[in-house]
Amino acid sequence: MSVEVVSYRLTYRGRPAGNQVMKTEVAGKVRRMELKAAFQGPLGNVTVLQRSRSSAQHHHSLRFSEETQEREGKRVFDVQFDSATGLVRATTGPKDTATVPYIRPYRDPLSLLGQVRALAGESAHGVAMLGKDVTVLLMGEVELPTALGERRAWAYKVHPGNSLVYVDMQPPHAILKLTQRLAEGYLDSLIVSIASEPSLEAFGEDGGKQGQGQQQRRRGRRRQRRRRRG
């Protein structure tokens, strides 16, 4: 399946603030997403790359990473949701790793957006994310002027944070506008174009293979113990 490529222009407090591109690919049961934002002007010169691998049907995250490139250097945040070990492992550096039990179907910021696109005019309560649950509340339907023309959209509010997500009512239900509240104003992402490309770079598969390998090793050890007892 081809990759959906949606481009946005960014404005902060009504002023141009850069651009971003969101890519989405669904392959079987897995959804891969990539969001690259290049900020400029009032928000400084910063590039943020987020990548997600999640369940296409149930939206829970399998892997998420965020790379932030600033003048001072690069920061990397990586989260693995490992069902084989029953742990969520968050890493910000070679010696900075934290784990929590993997007890709920957690979303990451991108897989949450994938879920919002699939709501089809419904609300969602108690959506599990690390650190907090969120509610996606349908606010109604609106006529939204866009670079693609006038579109009718579902308007959702995400609590906490009060972000607003406007989803095209026509398939493939692209996100037409996203409004996020920052410390001193609102950051708007406004759709510019929808295109496609052949493929998206694989992401998170190594973690899945590692988990499968751990399961296979555990099964092998159990078989060896049974043979010894026999």
pLDDT in tens, 90-134: 999 778 999 999 999 999 999 999 999 999 999 999 999 998 999
- Other beta carbons within 10 Å of 19: 17
Confirm whether 64 is domain-assigned. Answer: yes
How big is the CA angle at 25 (ends 160 and 205), to the nearest 5 degrees? 90
- Neighbouring C-beta atoms of residue 125, cutoff 10 Å: 10
- Reported confidence tier of residue 211, pLDDT bands at 50, 70, 90: very low
Answer with the residue of higher pLDDT: 1 or 16: 16
Does residue 224 sit within a domain?
no
Region 48-57 average pLDDT: 97
> Is there a domain that residue 227 lies in?
no
Report yes or no on 230 lying in a domain: no
pLDDT given at position 72 = 84
Q: Report if residue 115 sits inside a domain.
A: yes
Q: At 202, is the pLDDT very low, low, confident or very high (cuts 50, 70, 90)?
A: confident
H-type alpha helices, the chain? 109-117, 205-229
Mean pLDDT of the chain: 89
Residue 214: the pLDDT is 41
For residue 221, being part of any structural domain is answered with no
The pLDDT of residue 208 is 42
- Per-residue burial over 87-108, b = 16 or more CB atoms within 10 Å of its CB, e = otherwise: ebbebeeeeeeeeeebeeebbb
Helix or strand run (H / E) with residue 160? none
Q: Which domain holds residue 116?
A: 3-214
Question: Token digits for 81?
Answer: 């949701």
The pLDDT confidence band at residue 1, using thresholds 50, 70 and 90, is low
Query: Residue type for 204, please?
Result: G
First vs last Cα of the chain: how many Å apart?
50
Positive or negative CA dihedral for 98, 161, 64, 112?
positive
Confidence of residue 42 (pLDDT cuts 50, 70, 90): confident
Helix (H) or strand (E) holding 185: strand 185-197
Q: Under a CB-based contact definition with an 8 Å cutoff, are residues 64 and 50 in contact?
A: yes
The pLDDT-based confidence of 222 (bands split at 50, 70, 90) is: very low
Contact 21, 8 (CB under 8 A): yes
Choose among 6, 8, 41, 67: nearest CA to 185.
41
The number of distinct structural domains making up the chain is 1
In a domain, 228, yes or no: no
Q: Is residue 222 part of a domain?
A: no
